[in-house]
Structure 1
Amino acid sequence: MKNKIIPLLIFLLTTTSLYSVFAQNDEYYRPDSLRKEKNRVVPAPQDEPVVMKKDSIERKKRLADFQDRPFIDRVRLGGSFGLSFGTVTNVNLSPMAGYELTEKLVAGVGVTGMYFRSRYYDINDFYYGGRAFMMYQLFPMVNVIGEFEGMNVIGSYQKRQWLGSPLIGAAYSQPIGGRFIKYAHLTILYNLNYNNQIDQYSGQNLSPYSSPFVFRVTFL
């Protein structure tokens, strides 16, 4: 009986050893990528924060709603006016039209009529001109504005001439809910060309504004 058991045990040990050797050789010759793939731990996907996901969805919805607006719903109509009294009297009115290029950017044009009177230079006349502007909503109630205004004014010897005024500034804006007149803007602008608008004969500044700062109330 013992003679039968001993060969059986030797056979089992030999078979087990050979299996182990072949298994190790198989792992050894397996490509590195497969061995790493076998042992790699795939991290669980992390969900995007709920607040960021909600904001992204709302931005995309607003953009889609804006792009779907018909042309007429992106048009703005209105105007601006300004007043100053004293040695120089300036009463101006400017109808304006704008178009919403994006949710925050509006471009437009306007024409200006102005009653101008200067006691010092004995001028009592009507000035006229036009403007082109761009207005960008920096914050919900703050817009930055860039504008170019051309005005036909009176210089020496009652000769009329054109003045070009690049203006930059900002506006405090409040929504008023109209279809075409959507905001009321309290605007302050600075005339970058003010100090160059000097009459060559009299030496007076031909700008119809008494300083480089221009104040307006605009509805657009």
Structure 2
Amino acid sequence: MKSKILLSCTLLLLILTSVNLYAQNDEYYRPDSLRKEAPNQRKDYTPTDTNRLAEKRKEVDFKQLPFKDRLRAGGGFGLSLGTFTNINLSPMVGYELTEKLVAGVGVTYMFFKQRYFDSYSYYGGKGFFMYNVIKPVNLIAELEPLNVVGNYQKRQWIVSPMLGAAYSVPTGGRIAKAVHFTLLYNLNYYNQVDNSAGPAAAITNLSPYGSPLVFRITLL
């Protein structure tokens, strides 16, 4: 009797073992797309894979941004009162082409008034590119045409190509995202000399900045 019970238990154990081995072999040879995974099994990623996934997700998210969320708006304003009055208005609009590159345009208006002399104004526009190198630093390329007053109150256009950099401080705003402390170099500064009235006028500088170095504080 005991031997029959022992034999029955042995056969049952063999059957269960065979079924389990077959199930494991069937799972092993199943294609990856159909292979079962344990509910609590965690898939490990290397740091490189994790970074790539994060970068890909970030790139996809940026490409899906609507037009209005890529827009920036702001500009600069300057005011000096006294014996010499100087008012400078420069609204600007930018668009984020990529996460690092912003392209934009602006309008410039300058009003000058010196006591006992006539007042005059400069006006024009600008186009610019701003590229983020590292988090607080941006490289800037700008082209600014201005209509200025030369000798004998004759108006003329000058064009100033400028290169420089900006230190940017985020504002947390949606449209005006940062304050930029910008230093530019005017590549055409020394050619902006009005010599139409002879040697005596050769020292007349048509540039309103008074130096090839141009410092600005803008919001964009």
Residue by residue, what CA displacement relative to the aligned partner does 1:181-206 show, whole Å, maximum 9, x if unpaired?
11111111110000000001211111
1:107-118 to 2 correspondences below 5 Å: 107-117=103-113
Give SS of 1:127's match: strand
Partner of 1:209: 209
Match of 2:150 among 152, 155, 159: 155
Distance in 2, matches of 1:55 and 1:112, equals 43
Partner of 1:41: none
Q: Which moved more, 1:177-186 or 1:164-173?
A: 177-186
Deviation at 1:87, TM superposition (A): 8.7
Task: Label 1:127 to 1:97 Cα distance change in 2 as closer, same or farther (>3 A).
Answer: same
Partner of 2:93: 97
Partner of 1:128: 123
Residue by residue, what CA displacement relative to the aligned partner does 1:65-108 show, whole Å, maximum 9, x if unpaired?
10000111111111123456899754311111111000010001
% identical equivalent positions: 57
Which amino acid is 1:136 matched to? Y
Distance in 1, matches of 2:213 and 2:114, equals 18
Give SS of 2:176's match: coil
Q: Is the 8 A contact 1:110 1:132 kept in 2?
A: yes
Q: Structure 2: which 5+ residue stretches go unaligned?
A: 1-43
Match of 2:176 among 160, 172, 181: 181
Deviation at 1:177, TM superposition (A): 1.3
Which amino acid is 1:215 matched to? F
Larger radius of gyration: 1
Task: Label 1:212 to 1:87 Cα distance change in 2 as closer, same or farther (>3 A).
Answer: farther
Distance in 1, matches of 2:154 and 2:84, equals 19
Task: Label 1:146 to 1:123 Cα distance change in 2 as closer, same or farther (>3 A).
Answer: farther
Partner of 1:54: 50
Partner of 2:22: none
Distance in 2, matches of 1:139 and 1:86, equals 41
Distance in 2, matches of 1:117 and 1:165, equals 23
Task: Label 1:110 to 1:212 Cα distance change in 2 as closer, same or farther (>3 A).
Answer: same
Q: Find out whether 1:69 has 2:68 as its counterpart.
A: no
Task: Label 1:57 to 1:154 Cα distance change in 2 as closer, same or farther (>3 A).
Answer: same
Q: Is the 8 A contact 1:95 1:112 kept in 2?
A: yes
Residue by residue, what CA displacement relative to the aligned partner does 1:161-180 show, whole Å, maximum 9, x if unpaired?
11100001110001111111
Q: Structure 1: which 5+ residue stretches go unaligned?
A: 1-47
TM-score by length of 2: 0.72
Partner of 2:36: none
Partner of 2:165: 170
Partner of 1:146: 141
TM-score by length of 1: 0.72
Give SS of 2:98's match: coil
Give SS of 2:166's match: strand
Give SS of 1:79's match: strand
Give SS of 1:195's match: helix
Q: Which moved more, 1:167-176 or 1:84-93?
A: 84-93
